Amino acid sequence: MKTGVGLYTALVLCLLMGTVFLQRPRPKKPPKPPKPTKRPSFKPAPPPKGPEPQEPTDFPPPILGPPSMFPDCPRECFCPPSFPNALYCENRNLRTVPVIPSRVHYLYLQNNYISEVTAEPFNNATELRWVNMANNRIKKVDKQVFEKVPGLLFLYMERNQLKEVPDDLPVGLEQLRLSHNQISKIPSGAFGKMEHLALLDLHHNKLSDSDMGKNTFKDLKNLVQLNLAHNILKKMPANIPNGIAQLFLDRNNIDNIPKDYFQGFSNLAFVRLNYNQLSDKGVPKAVFNVSTLLDLHLAHNQLTSVPLFNPQLEHLHLNHNSIESINGTQLCPFSLSSESLTDEALMPRLRYLRLDGNHLSPPVPLDVIMCFRHLKSIVV
């Protein structure tokens, strides 16, 4: 009986355990990740219809200067506290000239994108002495600009796009630099009454003989340097002031020098005529016999002989011509047996002679060495 009860009890326990295992929840599978939602696509708005902006897109934006203690300092410039008379507006990507304070004597506007110089910014700039507007895109300068700055002494406008010399320049100018423009016209009287001008730089322009009248340079009584190199001149410029010291005419098409061209020049020390069309026919033998001349450049021409020169000449450049021989006896201003060649004060002063690029070969003739005893260097 007890055995039957035990079997019965064991059977009930097994059934209960099976029920428990059958009711145990099965692990659920992880839910699938939601599908990514598509991002809404935004189409760029069409450009507004109408005219394109006038400002060229290749110009970078203007650069503002640092804060200034001067309330009248333009935001796009720098006004140094230690130098209140100067206004630095260079390398600022400017399109126009800012308003110039009345205290300014020195104005730096180089390396910008200025295309026109108007009078308004200079209304109060009556004390200006120095203006540098080099390397811009200036095509036009209003006539009234220079009326505002009567005391201007130095004007630098090289590397712009000017086609003629500006009108009504201040008569007190001492230096005028207009190189690397497109100047093909000098208005009549452009340099009239400019008695204080010492330096006039017009090199690398488009000036021809017809663009310069006979009296263009006549009134420049204190001119020291005239630079007309790299133009399209065929003749020597007329009526150069006889007090000039430096005359630069390289890279033109000059083929003739009048016989008496340099007569009366009292201070002429440097003459440069490299890269022209000069031949023996166009160079009178004694045209360079000028007592004040120290440095003479005649390289890259068509000379076949060495022109005569004064004993005071120290540097002579004759390279790249067609010279086939050099005769020291003919060149020497004195006889080789003369006592003058033993007198230090009278001895020819030539120190540097360049003859390379000709039809010559070393050695240098002995009579050249005997005459020009101050020679330090001869390039053949």
* Torsion angle defined by CA atoms of residues 247, 252, 258 and 259, in that order, rounded to the nearest 10 degrees: 70
CA nearest neighbour of 207 among 181, 225, 188? 181
Q: Is residue 120 a contact partner of residue 145, using CB atoms and an 8 Å limit? A: no
Is the bond into 363 cis (omega within 30 degrees of 0)? yes
358 or 53, greater pLDDT:
358
DSSP states of 163-226: SBPPSS--TT-SEEE--SS---B--TTTTTT-TT--EEE--SS---GGGS-TTTTTT-TT--EE
What gap in Å lies between CA 287 and CA 270, rounded to an integer? 14
Fold assignment, 258-379: 3.80.10
Q: Is 37 helix (H, G, I), strand (E, B) or coil?
A: coil
Q: Is 21's pLDDT higher than 80? A: no
Confidence at residue 255, expressed as pLDDT on a 0 to 100 scale: 97
Identify the DSSP state of 91: T
Confidence at residue 347, expressed as pLDDT on a 0 to 100 scale: 87
Q: Is residue 349 a contact partner of residue 314, using CB atoms and an 8 Å limit? A: yes
User: Could you report the per-residue pLDDT of 93-113, keeping only the tens digit for each?
Assistant: 999 999 999 999 999 999 999
Q: Is 4's pLDDT higher than 60? A: no
What confidence category does residue 66 fall into, taking pLDDT thresholds of 50, 70 and 90? confident
Sign of CA dihedral 339, 341, 345, 346: positive
Confidence at residue 44, expressed as pLDDT on a 0 to 100 scale: 53
Residue 176 CB coordination number (10 Å): 23
What gap in Å lies between CA 32 and CA 317, rounded to an integer? 92
Q: Are strands 225-227 and 246-248 parallel, antiparallel or unpaired?
A: parallel
Q: Is residue 198 a contact partner of residue 174, using CB atoms and an 8 Å limit? A: yes
Query: Whole-number mean pLDDT of the chain?
Result: 87
What gap in Å lies between CA 315 and CA 348, rounded to an integer? 11
| Contacts of 236 by beta carbon, 8 Å cutoff, 6+ apart | 249, 254, 256, 257, 258, 261
Confidence at residue 199, expressed as pLDDT on a 0 to 100 scale: 98
Mean pLDDT along residues 108-135: 97
Between the alpha carbon of residue 201 and those of residues 14, 21, 224, the distances in Å are 120, 110, 11
What confidence category does residue 328 fall into, taking pLDDT thresholds of 50, 70 and 90? confident
Helix (H) / strand (E) element for 107: namely: strand 106-108
86 or 373, greater pLDDT:
86
Q: How close are the terminal C-alpha atoms of the chain, in Å? A: 145
What confidence category does residue 12 fall into, taking pLDDT thresholds of 50, 70 and 90? very low
Give the start-to-end residue ranges of the domains of the chain. Answer: 258-379
Which span out of 192-196, 216-220, 275-279 was modeled with the highest average pLDDT? 275-279
Confidence at residue 345, expressed as pLDDT on a 0 to 100 scale: 74
What confidence category does residue 196 fall into, taking pLDDT thresholds of 50, 70 and 90? very high
Phi, psi of 169, deg, nearest 5: -65, 150
What confidence category does residue 15 fall into, taking pLDDT thresholds of 50, 70 and 90? very low
Q: Name which of 9-23, 98-112, 313-327 the model is least confident about.
A: 9-23
Chain-centre distance of CA 317, in angstroms?
Answer: 26
Between the alpha carbon of residue 379 and those of residues 263, 299, 322, the distances in Å are 30, 13, 15
Mean pLDDT along residues 279-300: 96
Q: Is 263's pLDDT higher than 70? A: yes
Q: Is 41's pLDDT higher than 90? A: no
**Cα angle: 119, vertex 125, 130; to 5 degrees:** 100
Mean pLDDT along residues 65-85: 93
Q: Which residue's entry shows tokens 């005997």?
A: 370
Confidence at residue 43, expressed as pLDDT on a 0 to 100 scale: 54
User: Could you report the per-residue pLDDT of 243-253, keeping only the tens digit for each?
Assistant: 999 999 999 99
Between the alpha carbon of residue 349 and those of residues 110, 159, 175, 341, 353, the distances in Å are 43, 39, 32, 11, 11
What gap in Å lies between CA 363 and CA 347, rounded to an integer? 23
